[in-house]
Amino acid sequence: MASRAALRRAVGGAQALQHGASPLSRRRWASTASSPEVVDPFKSKPSSSTVTRIEHDDLPGNLSKRSDRFVEGIMPFMVPTYARPTPVMARGSGCYLWDMENKQYLDFTAGIAVTSLGHSDPGLSQVLSEQSEILIHASNLFHNKHTGKLSQALVSTTLTSGAMRTATQAFICNSGTEANEAALKFARKVGHSLDTTGAKHEIVSFQGSFHGRTFGALSATPNPKYQAPFAPMVPGFKYGKYNDIEQLPTLITDKTCGVIVEPIQGEGGVNVASAEFLTALRARCDQVGAVLIFDEIQCGLSRTGSLWAHAHPSLRPKDGSKPAHPDILTTAKALGNGFPIGATIISSDTVGKYIKVGDHGTTFGGSPLACAVGNHVLTRLANKDLQDSVNSRSQTLIKGLKRLQERYPDAVSEIRGRGLILGLQLTAPYTSKVSDILGSARDKGLLIISAGEGCIRFVPPLVITDAEIEVGLGILDEAMSEVVNKA
């Protein structure tokens, strides 16, 4: 009965937001455990799908200092490549995380579009447990039961979904940047095969893109923040303007071996490619014999409500012509739901026939454990019921973001995205306030992230409920009120 009452309170608060009144005027959403006992925050807890709204209790025994002491103790041994806020995350369940102080957070980041099935998913945990007792690693010197199965599943599921009509083979690796690195190398190999002089070696990418941090993927990521400290980049990369069709004849030439693009840019600000732009890219690549690469590491695997973003109905040409499909498709992130894995799906006609034994490789990629995970996750993410749910939850989130836009018209300029990869773009006077909004929301129990310049990004677990979305919107409303009204 108590859990039902808590759920009714949460839904009631969501309805209050829907009708224009913030449900957060007197309550905090971030909470500590209701028990006064000091518990082990790293110990596994029973999962719960209940949406709760709990008063913020005082932390017993100065628990709030535990995280500070913990971080102070470990930081001297860690290369400082990240600027992390204070919370030390200790456990997760569904759409929630808990820190060392047992403070609860509603997670709208999904580990940056990774935990699409939620945190500590029981089905995935079972696969990990069972496979780890059978075989974890045997190297790519030998076949194993799961690598080929996952490769076949990626190809067949892609074809069945109506995406990438030429999908034939898959290369399994460990991460998104590795998947893109393989794609870039494959494109170069195609270029060398078509023109043995080496002239056909240029790779084109676009402003606002993010393809990874290894040198090849970084060279395709035209952001001075990431590139400048490690210049010079790999030679042969050219950059164009996203969604600009007129530039393509001069940007993509006979020297171009590959073009890499995100159908929806995540890091760049949740920018959606137009169907016309993708179609023009496909046509130009065909004209000059270049490989077209779609990076769907963040926007793929049903995050848009379609298995692959490039096959989303909104990215189909309005004139009824065939949608643009790639020669190479890269994926990672959600494929492992937190376990490291990536994949590069290719067409044998335009790419695979040029790839020979020894052209590429990986020590850990395609391990039995990783591929058992990938098979399990792919089956669930490709489920039509889940995709329908994503589309429904998307409408709930978009409606809520529109209410915030109406409430803060001077601060919010646009809502972008598809499915459950959405962006709330702030106006110029407020772009510098994004970090303040994120910090305020985190203090109140909501985890969100930024993208591009002045954009708040929403990539929650795909299993999120309408009630949880409304709870998160309520927290965001209070955070924005706190920051915007001070500006």
> Of 78-82, 130-134, 192-196, 329-333, which gets the smallest average pLDDT?
78-82
Q: What is the pTM (predicted TM-score) of this model?
A: 0.89
Mean pLDDT of 290-319: 97
CA angle at 270 for the pair 226 and 343, rounded to the nearest 5°? 70
The pLDDT confidence band at residue 156, using thresholds 50, 70 and 90, is very high
The pLDDT score that the predictor gives to residue 23 is 36
Please answer whether residues 135 and 486 qualify as being in contact, where contact means their C-beta atoms are separated by less than 8 angstroms.
Answer: no
Average pLDDT over residues 453-457: 98
Residue 28: what pLDDT?
37
At residue 486, the pLDDT reads 86
- What token pair was written down for 13? 């608060």
In this structure, what token pair is assigned to residue 136? 């974890």
Q: What does the angle CA 299 – CA 120 – CA 151 come to, to the nearest 5 degrees?
A: 50
Backbone phi, then psi, for 310, in 5-degree steps? -65, -15
Using omega within 30 degrees of 0 as the cis cutoff, is the peptide bond preceding 232 cis? yes
pLDDT in tens, 307-319: 999 999 999 998 8
- Banded pLDDT at 5 (limits 50, 70, 90): very low
Three-class SS state of 177? helix
CA end-to-end distance (rounded Å), the chain? 43
pLDDT band, very low/low/confident/very high, at 395 (cuts 50, 70, 90) = very high
Q: What is the average pLDDT across 426-439? A: 97
pLDDT mean over 399-420: 98
Contact (Cβ atoms closer than 8 angstroms) between residue 408 and residue 450:
no
Please give the average per-residue pLDDT across 327-340, as a whole number: 99
Coil, strand or helix at 31? strand
H or E element, residue 172:
strand 167-173
- Residue 180 amino acid letter: N
Token digits of residue 486: 């001070």
Instruction: Determine the average pLDDT of the residues in 19-44.
Output: 40
How do the domains of the chain map onto residue ranges? 127-382
Which CATH number is 127-382's, of 3.40.50.720, 3.40.50.2020, 3.40.640.10, 3.40.50.300?
Answer: 3.40.640.10
